[in-house]
Amino acid sequence: MKTSDQRGLIGSVAAYAAFCSLSLLSRFFLPVFLLVVAIGVAFPLVWAKLTMGWTSIGLTRRNLGQALLWGTGAGLAIMLYILLVANFEEGLSFPPMLGLQLAVGILIWFLVVSPFQEFFFRGWLQPRFQGAMGKWAGLVFTSVCFSLWHFFPPFESTPTSTLPVTSFGGVLTTIAFGIIWGHTLQRTNNIVAPWISHALAGIAVVLTGKMTFIYYTP
């Protein structure tokens, strides 16, 4: 391993640890999660701007059409999987105020939830792990880190989210999704691909009622 790759690996692990620590803190002080979201977007953008340019995190117009196709295709496939699993396990039932839930959920997933995760994990973290470990090992390691990170923020067992992200099945699922999203980035070199795919997966979660943005008390 090159010295530069070693430094990159150490720095990436340190950044990941700090990201997880802030996310854990947001369990006790919910407003901290806004800081996590801001850092997830701003940190990769600022880092890339000051070093190799935004292209290094996949923020580019290159291969945009290909990225749209890969992102939409992978996203629709994941949406179908989520809906089929929900139907198989509990019977698919849409949440109350579905239209309003979707109107808010689509905006939040496309503009907030998906980009802060994709910019940090796929745009910034994955290239550094790939540089230190190799293309496929780096992809898998990033996906494992992505899955384990879900243990830290307040994603599960809240009034607005019942996602089983910390169950055994949830961990395997998020690892698999992370590999898919990381691979779309590898194929297109454009962050738009995992960005769109992740957002579409989130919309499926809203459809199943596992995550809601309009709190409803019957």
DSSP 94: P
Which of 70, 14, 67 minimizes the C-alpha distance to 43? 14
Give the C-alpha distances (Å, rounded to integers) separating 196 from 21, 69, 88, 191.
27, 10, 26, 9
What SS3 class is residue 158? strand
Number of domains present in the structure of the chain: 1
- For the stretch 61-66, contacts whose Cβ atoms lie closer than 8 Å and that sit 24 or more positions apart, written own/partner, are 62/189, 62/190, 63/188, 63/189, 63/190, 64/190, 64/192, 66/187, 66/188, 66/190, 66/193
Residue 37 neighbours by CB distance under 10 Å: 18
* Domain-embedded: residue 213: no
Domain that holds residue 138: 3-208
* Domain-embedded: residue 150: yes
Rounded to two decimals, the pTM is 0.92
Please give the chain's pLDDT, 218 residues, in tens. 666 667 778 889 999 999 999 999 999 998 999 999 999 999 999 999 998 888 999 999 999 999 999 999 999 999 999 999 877 777 777 777 888 989 999 999 999 999 999 999 999 999 999 998 999 999 999 999 999 999 999 887 666 677 788 888 889 999 999 999 999 999 999 999 999 999 999 999 999 888 888 776 65
> Helices marked H in the chain — which ranges?
3-28, 32-50, 64-89, 98-108, 114-117, 126-133, 135-149, 168-188, 192-208
* Domain-embedded: residue 218: no
Evaluate whether 15 touches 125 at the Cβ level (below 8 Å): yes
* Domain-embedded: residue 215: no
